[in-house]
Chains A and B, each alone.
Chain A
Amino acid sequence: MTRKRLRLYAVLSGLAALGVATALVLSAFNDSLVFFYSPTELKTKSAPFERQLRIGGLVAEHSVARSDDGRTTDFTVTDGTNTVRVTYTGALPDLFREGQGVVAEGVLRRDGTFRASSVLAKHDERYMPPEVAAALKKSGHWQEGAATAGAAAKGAAP
């Protein structure tokens, strides 16, 4: 075996070992690398009460209610299977609306509702001109937040 061959095998086996090590570490850390919990994960993974965490999902249709002073907003976050009622006081991002993906940071209260201290909008991976979106909605081929809901539902699987 020539020295070049030897070095080639050394580099390749080093990379393979590193890849395996990284895969193991990442799968071990899997739960703590999650940026947010879906409503289903909140239930199945018994998330702690009164502890800072993030939840994510879609704002359910017809669930947004604003208080009289307009500063507090109540809405339901859904992943298609389970839902969480969220209360938030403050300014919402421009993209916030029913059917939109959101990530809310705050605490889960003992009554099962979520008190958010910040709300971020999560947009899906679809990009299109407004006319196309309008046409899709008109023809009934529109799936509101389909991709985001899919991601949240996938995240719910163990």
Chain B
Amino acid sequence: MHRFANPTRFMRASALVLPWLAVATALLLGAGLLLALFVAPPDYQQGESVRIMYVHVPAAWLASAAYLSLAVASAIALIWRHPLADIAAQEAAPIGAVFTAICLLSGSLWGKPMWGAWWVWDARLTSMLVLFFLYLGYIALVNAFDDEERGARAGAILALVGVVDLPIIKFSVDWWNTLHQPASVFRLGGPTIAVSMLAPLLVMALGFTLFFATVLLLRMRAAILARKLRALRRAEAEAAGRFAAGPRDAAGSVL
């Protein structure tokens, strides 16, 4: 891990991996959507509406997984001060926020026909909404400081505090009476979902995961380049400043 904490090495390694990741993402998401929309059977209770699951559930999983990686990167940044960890955390946040938004919106579209309500304040839905606000709060906090480093540190602490929401999301459906049904896949006693529906779901979930990895690498590369550019500009401006403020005869001699 320490080996890849070097930005130069990261740029080289990620350039090698990215094309493969992007192609695999496109293939998996394409295949997953075909399977989910055309091959998977309708549900005995929900009929065709069940196909919303193939977007809703992977988005929910990735919303939590992205937050976990945001928190791990924040911990590494706080403890070991790796320059890449801060970048990874900050670039993961918007992606996770979008996954959370997709989860909330698709869940709302699914809830209306199945439950009879767009939204209810049960423990699962509320804890997921809290996750969305955690992402937004993190993004706002990191950008609220003039000093980049202080913003990153404040954000990292908020990210770690927010981790308590993850087990609450996962177990909310077991701990409390909720309108949202309990877990179907990651549960004791095995999945309660037919294999013909589980397979497309897992393909979609893998596709979402690779999509996250691809976009994260792209964003991290862009962020590293942007930081380099800013450093160069600053060095240039400093050099120019020194030149302008320099002694008159020195300037004259250059001219």
Are A15 and B177 in contact, CB atoms less than 8 angstroms apart? no
Verify A127–B194 contact, CB threshold 8 A.
Answer: yes
| Residues of B with C-beta under 8 A to A132 | 44, 194
In the complex, the answer to whether B79 meets A35 with C-beta atoms within 8 Å is no
Residue interface mask B182-195, A partner, CB < 8 A = 1: 11100100001110
**Which residue of B43, B79, B178 contacts A129 across the interface (Cβ within 8 Å)?**
B43
Asked, given contacts A35-B122, A123-B114, whether A130 binds B183 with beta carbons under 8 Å apart, the answer is no
Instruction: Report chain A residues within 8 Å CB of B75.
Output: 11
The residue that B192 contacts in the complex, of A8, A94, A125, with Cβ under 8 A, is A125
Say which one of A44-52, A65-73, A114-122 lies at the interface with B: A114-122
B115 contact set on A, CB distance < 8 A: 93, 95, 120-123
Whether a CB of chain B sits under 8 angstroms from the CB of A155 is yes
CB within 8 Å for A126 and B179 given contacts A121-B114, A121-B115: no
Confirm or deny: B83 has a beta carbon within 8 angstroms of a beta carbon on chain A: no
Q: Given the known A-B contacts A35-B123, A129-B44, A130-B41, are A119 and B193 also in contact in the complex, defined by CB atoms under 8 Å?
A: no
A75 at the interface (CB under 8 A from B): no
Which B-chain residue is minimally distant from A41 (CB atoms)?
Answer: B177
**By the criterion CB–CB under 8 Å, are A93 and B114 in contact?**
yes
Residues on A with beta carbons closer than 8 Å to the beta carbon of B163: 15
- Please report which residues of chain A, range 134-148, place their CB below 8 angstroms from some CB of chain B when the two chains form the complex: 134, 147-148
**Cβ of A33 under 8 Å from chain B:** yes
B residues in contact with A92, CB < 8 Å: 116
Contact of B197 among A128, A134, A147 (CB under 8 A): A128
Contact assessment for A35 and B184 in the assembled complex, using a CB-CB cutoff below 8 Å = no
Q: What is the chain A residue whose CB lies nearest that of B43?
A: A127
Cβ contact within 8 Å between A33 and B116: no
* CA gap between A56 and B179 in the complex, in Å: 9
Indicate with 1 or 0, residue by residue over B156-173, a CB within 8 angstroms of chain A CB atoms: 000011011000100000
Is A103 within 8 A of B123, CB to CB?
A: no
Q: How far is the CB of A144 from chain B (nearest CB, A)?
A: 11
What residues of chain A lie closer than 8 Å to B53, measured between beta carbons?
127
Set of chain B residues within 8 Å of A4, measured between Cβ atoms: 79-80
CB pair A129 B42 closer than 8 Å: yes
Residues of B within 8 A of A128 (CB): 43-44, 193-194, 197
Selected A-B contacts with CB under 8 Å, 11 pairs: A18-B164, A22-B164, A92-B116, A122-B181, A123-B46, A124-B181, A126-B184, A127-B194, A129-B194, A129-B196, A152-B177
Interface residues of A (CB under 8 A from B): 4, 7-8, 11, 14-15, 18-19, 22, 26, 30, 33-38, 56, 92-95, 103, 118-134, 147-148, 151-152, 155
State the 5 A-B residue pairs at the shortest beta-carbon distance, nearest first: A93-B116, A129-B41, A133-B44, A35-B122, A128-B194
Given pairs A35-B179, A124-B181, A155-B176, 20 additional interface contacts (CB within 8 A): A11-B78, A15-B163, A33-B175, A35-B122, A35-B176, A35-B178, A37-B177, A95-B114, A120-B117, A120-B120, A123-B115, A124-B192, A125-B182, A127-B46, A127-B50, A127-B192, A127-B194, A147-B181, A147-B192, A148-B181
